[in-house]
A and B are shown apart, each in its own frame.
Chain A
Amino acid sequence: MAMDVQPRAGTLPDDADVAVRVRGLVTGFGNQIVHNGLDLDVARGEVLGLVGGSGSGKSVLMRTIIGLNPARAGHIEIFGHDALDPSPSAQRALRRQWGVLFQEGALFSGLTVAENIEVPMREFLALPEDVMAALAATRLRQVGLPADAGAKYPSELSGGMKKRAGLARALALDPALLFLDEPTAGLDPISAAAFDNLIRLLKDTLGLTLFLITHDLDTLHAICDRVAVLGEGRVLACGTIDQVRQFDHPWVQEYFSGPRGRAAAHPATGKAA
C-alpha cells in the first residue's frame, strides 16, 4: 500500500512496457491551473480507469494526451514516441494508432453512420469500397447496433446509439490504444453491461490498451485492471480497485464506500447495506 501513497502515484517502473507515459504535466486555462506536475503511466495491454470529482480535469487530461489541448509543461510519450512533437508526420503516425470515443459520440452530422465509420479507413488506407462497406458492417454488428442504423444520420439516433456508433468509428482502424470518455454514461444498465463485455472482448482478443474515464462503478469493477484517482491537480492514488479503495483520502473513501460503491463491489450484500 505504501507504494501507492508516495508522491509519484500513478507511475510504473522506468523499464515497464508502457503505452502512455505522462511526466510532470502542467495544464491550465488563464489563471486556473488544472494539472500541476501530473505523472501517469498506462501499461501496454491494460485497462486503466480514470476517476475523479467533477472539475478534477479528467477530460482535460485525456484531451491533452491526444493533443487537443496544449500542455504548459511536462512531456507525454505514446508507445515511446513524443506525443507533443508538432511535426505533421509524427502527429499522423500517432493518430493512426489510437481511437477516441467522445462523450456524445462526436459523429460527423453530415455523414451516415456507415460513412462515419469509413472516414478513418479512407484517410489512412486504400481499401476497395466493398471491403470497406463489409468492415463497416462488421463494426456496426460488433458494437451492437441494429441492422438499419448504418444508413441513418446521427441526428436520427438516440444518445446510446450515437455512443455505439462513435465507438464503431473509434475502432475502425483497430487501434492499439483506445481513449473512451465516459463510455457507459447515459446507457441503460443492460446496454452498459453489454458495452463492458464488448470492451473486455476487444481487450482480450486484440490486446488493446484502454484509457477510460468513467464514473460507472460497475465498469470499474468489471473491466479495469487499474484505477487512477485524479484530484488536486495530480494522481492521488493508483492501483487495483482494491488497493485504491484502501487509500486514505476523504474523496476516495466517499467514492468507493458510499452506498453505490458498496453495491458495485458486493452485488449481493450491497442492497442490504
Chain B
Amino acid sequence: MGTGIIWDAPAGGEARVALTGRWTISEVTDLADALAREAPRAPGLAIDLAGVEGLDTAGAWAINRAIQRWEQAGFGARLDGASPDIARLIAAVDGTPGAIKLRPDVGNPVVARVERIGKALVLQGRNITNFLGFLGHVLIVLGGTLIGRRRLRWHAVVHQAEAIGVNALGIIGLLLFLVGLVIAQQGAVQLRQFGAEVFTVNLIGRATTRELGILLTAIMVAGRSGSAFAAQIGSMKLNQEIDALRTIGLDPIEVLVIPRVIASSLMLLGLAFYGGLCALVAGGFYVWSELAMPPDSYITRLQEVILMSDFVIGMVKAPVFGFIIAIMGCFHGFQVTGNAESVGTRTTQAVVEAIFVVIVFDAFFAFFFSLLGYN
C-alpha cells in the first residue's frame, strides 16, 4: 500500500481522513498541506491511522497541528486506529505554532543600523580603555620582572624565541633576499639612465639598513607570530585555561605575555639584522653579476655609504616593533570571548593592528630622527 491520504467529508457529517503508508520528514510538507485541505467545521474530524506503516516526529507534528487547528476552531478531533505508541508520540509533539522564538529579533532596519554603529563605537572605546589597562598591567609586570621582584620564565622565553626567531630564519631570509634583488635591479635600471649605476650600492645600503629590512621583517613576524599569540591565548581563554592559571595563583600576564614580549623584542632585533644582511648579500650578488662590481669593492662601498647612525636607528626600531607585535597579539588573545569565530576575528585584528601601529611608529621614528639631524 502506497503513501496516501483519503478525505471523506460529507456535507453536515463528520470529516474523515485516512492516512496510509509511511509519513516521515521527507513527505511532511505534502502531509501538512493535505491535512489543511478541509476547513474546520462541525461536527469534527476523525483521523484514521490504521493504514499507517511508519510515522516519525515530523509526521506526528503535522497530524498534531491539524488536530490543534480543529480544536482551536471549537470542534472535536480524534484519532482512530492509532497504536498507543503512535498516539503518545502525536500527543507529545505539540504542533502549536509560534510559541518558541527561533531567531534573534531584527527590529526596525534603521534603528538596527544606528544601534550597530553605536555598538561599534562603544566597543571601540572599550577596546581602547581595555588596551590601556592591559598595557599598564604588562608594563608593571615587566618592570617587576626587570628589577627582579617577579620571576622571569626563561624556559618560556627560550621556547618563544625559537618559535618567533629561529623558525622564521628561512622565510625571512628568502623574503629579504628577494627584496634586495628587486631593489638592486630596479635601482640599477633607473640609475643607468643617468650613467650613475654605481650608486645602486648607496640605494641598497641605505634603504635596507634603516627602513625596508626592519619594516618587512616586522610585517612578516606580525603575520607569523602575532597571529599565533592571539590564536593561542584566545583558544586558551575559551578552554578556561586562563581561568585555571588564575585559580592556581599564577598571573597570566607573567606566564603568557611577558615571555612573548621579551622573546619577540629580542628576536626582532636579531631577525632585522639578519634580514638586512640577506638583502645586502642579494644586492651584492646583483651588482657582481650585472654591474661587474667585485664583492670586495661592494663591501668597501657599503662601508662608505651606510652611516653608523642608519644602522643604529634600524636596531633601535626593531625591538620596539617586536614589542608592539607581541602586545597586540596577546591583547587580542585576551579579548576573545564566546566562540571560535571570536578567535578568528581577534587574530585578524591582532595582525592588522600590529602592522598598522608598526607603520605609524616607523613614520614617527623617521620624523623624529630627521629632526635630530640624522638624515
Contact = CB atoms under 8 A, between A and B. Distances in A.
A107 to B, nearest CB: 9
Given A151-B102, A174-B56, A201 B93 contact: no
B94 A134 contact: no
Interface in A109-124: 109-110, 112, 114-115, 121
A132 to B, nearest CB: 9
Nearest to A140: B100
B88 A205 contact: yes
Interface in B85-128: 85-86, 88-89, 92-95, 97, 99-105
Contacts of A205: 60, 85-86, 88-89, 92
Interface stretch (B142-150, B334-342, B356-364): B334-342
Interface residues of A, number: 34
A143 to B, nearest CB: 11
Interface string B24-38: 111011001000000
Nearest to B343: A109
A127 interface: yes
A148 interface: yes
Size class of the B contact interface (CB-based, 8 Å)? 20 to 34
A138 B56 contact: no
B93 A138 contact: yes
A123 B89 CA distance: 26
Given A171-B57, A174-B25, A201-B88, A110 B102 contact: no
A171 B337 CA distance: 29
B103 A138 contact: no
B101 A142 contact: no
Given A153-B338, A153-B339, A205-B88, A142 B102 contact: no
Contact of B29 (A131, A204, A206): A131
B61 interface: yes
B257 interface: no
A135 B25 contact: yes
Contact of A137 (B26, B86, B89, B97): B97
A1 B328 CA distance: 66
Given A109-B339, A131-B28, A174-B24, A141 B94 contact: yes
Contacts of B277: none
A147 interface: yes
A206 B58 CA distance: 11
Contacts of A121: 25
Contacts of B60: 205
A128 interface: yes
Contacts of A153: 338-339
Contacts of B102: 112, 114, 133, 136-137, 150-151
Interface string A124-164: 01011001011111111110000110110111000000000
Interface string B1-39: 000000000000000000000001110110010000000
A137 B56 CA distance: 15
Interface string A177-199: 00000000000000000000000
Interface string A62-91: 000000000000000000000000000000
A134 B32 CA distance: 11
A173 interface: yes
B339 A135 contact: no
A138 B95 CA distance: 7
Contact of A114 (B85, B86, B103): B103
B119 to A, nearest CB: 16
Interface string A92-116: 0000000000000000011010110
B103 A134 contact: no
Contact of A110 (B25, B57, B341): B341
B132 to A, nearest CB: 27
Point out which of B57, B88, B102, B104 has the most chain A C-beta atoms below 10 A from its C-beta. Answer: B102
Contacts of B105: 151
B103 A150 contact: yes
A137 B94 CA distance: 9
B25 A141 contact: no
A135 B58 contact: yes
A109 B57 contact: no
A138 B25 CA distance: 13
B56 A109 contact: no
Contact of A141 (B85, B88, B100, B338): B100
Contacts of B24: 174
B100 A150 contact: yes
Nearest to B61: A138
Interface string B273-286: 00000000000000
B94 A138 contact: yes
Interface in A208-240: none
Contact of B25 (A125, A140, A147, A154): A125
Interface of B: 24-26, 28-29, 32, 56-58, 60-61, 65, 85-86, 88-89, 92-95, 97, 99-105, 337-341
8 contacts: A109-B339, A110-B341, A135-B58, A141-B100, A147-B101, A148-B101, A174-B56, A205-B85
Lowest 9 CB-CB distances: which A-B pairs, in order? Answer: A109-B339, A174-B56, A155-B338, A205-B89, A114-B102, A137-B100, A150-B102, A151-B101, A155-B339
